[in-house]
Structure 1
Amino acid sequence: MTDSARPADATPDQIPAPAAPAPSGLQAIWANTAQPVAPLPWYRRVSRRALVTGAVAVGLLTVLAVGMASIDGGPAPRKALTLPDTLGTSVRLPDDPLVESTRADYPVRTLRPRFKESAVARYGAAGSTNTELIVIGLSGAADPKGEAARFFARADRGSVMQQTVTDLEDYPAGPLGGDLQCAQLTYSVGSETACVWSGADVVGIVVDKTGKSTPEALAARTVDIRAAAEPGR
């Protein structure tokens, strides 16, 4: 009631009180029920847009976590392979383009690395620059047997040098266990002998670049090389 609508002689107790505001939210719900109503759960109070945004954020964090785990390559190897300075009568020679190109074939800084660490070295007679052996060590391998199979399959695919794999056989792996395979790699201009051992999380590849070793002889030498490269494992 406005001042113009009030009687001129109206007393204070005759003036009606202002109307109360209409109830809203839970008050409106309780006003229409005989018993009090419990508050709405949190997911009923949050808008659908907020729920969708939260779900997307959780999904992105999960993808990032999986990606980082893939880049990191998983848990560290029990102990990395160490290529020694001497192997019997052969000594480790300085790196050359062959070592560098071989090392590039086994990268560890990839989106989904197959192994945690890699090492490549070449060996020959003391005072010589001629490579007799190439040794490759892969540590923290996710699939050691798969790496061994991949090596021989790659050699047998017929690259520019047209190598083929013959006489591929299993040999005793020695006291460290695992698997050992050796074969002859034949090229159009010569041949090499190669052995690959695989253990719980390691792979070792030994290639006789001279091709003078038989698979049986290189298998025996590979067992000794492995013992030197995996001390304390």
Structure 2
Amino acid sequence: MRTIDYDSEQHQDYARGRALTQQQLQVWMSAFEAALPERRPLAGLDVGSGTGRFTPALAQAFGPVIGVEPSVRMREVAQTQSQHPDVRYLPGTAEEIPVPSDSADYALMGLSWHHVQDKPQAARELARVVRTGGRLLLRTNFSDHHPRPWWLEYFPRGYEADASIFQPLHEVIATFTSAGWRVASFGTVTEPSSGTRGAMLERLHLRTLSFFAQLTPDELEAGFHRLEKAVAEDPGAPAPVFAEPLLTLERS
């Protein structure tokens, strides 16, 4: 996939383009809660925290969280949007997390695993910072367990191009099990609708998904033309929902 430099692109629009409604956020928090230990507080890491889509909600639900994000601009947006007292944002990557060993009860990677350059090193580094028995919430897509967003069908090579960004499930599991993790659970989470099809089209126009960077200008133009035509038929209709994977790993 084409590497995205979030300091020069997307950071201005990312929070708006990838915003979750309170209902959507609560569905994810419930899924995370079911995968985590019952005791509170829990020390958490949000690795690849971006503009803080999940970070403040994690702190509110479970305890203090450190957001780890390599992009200066994304961290600036996150800090501006939320001043939660139990949240800190630090520069770092999944391969080099700036916290002591065995200091976290869990880590979340929310749609950031596909950006990781050295995945075996990241799996080892996550094993270093998460305590034995702790959890990794890997919210990512897989090429062989791929969600079916309704709008992808309008783009040339839509499903193919999006799936190509991600690894197959067995490959991800092999990377982690070789680094001291075991699979705790695997399932899907279905978000409530993000709003109307028209509102979703407006957010898609911001192009804050990695998918859009994989298409040619001609493919983008053709796809948006087809999507706009389809949405114009009923822009007020609710955006269709779809199931998204969640892999939970335990530090063994």
TM above 0.5, one fold? no
**Structure with greater helix percent:** 2
Question: Which structure has the larger Rg over C-alpha atoms?
Answer: 1
* TM-score (ref. length: structure 2): 0.29
* TM-score (ref. length: structure 1): 0.31
Q: Which has the higher contact order (CA 8 A, sep 6+)?
A: 2
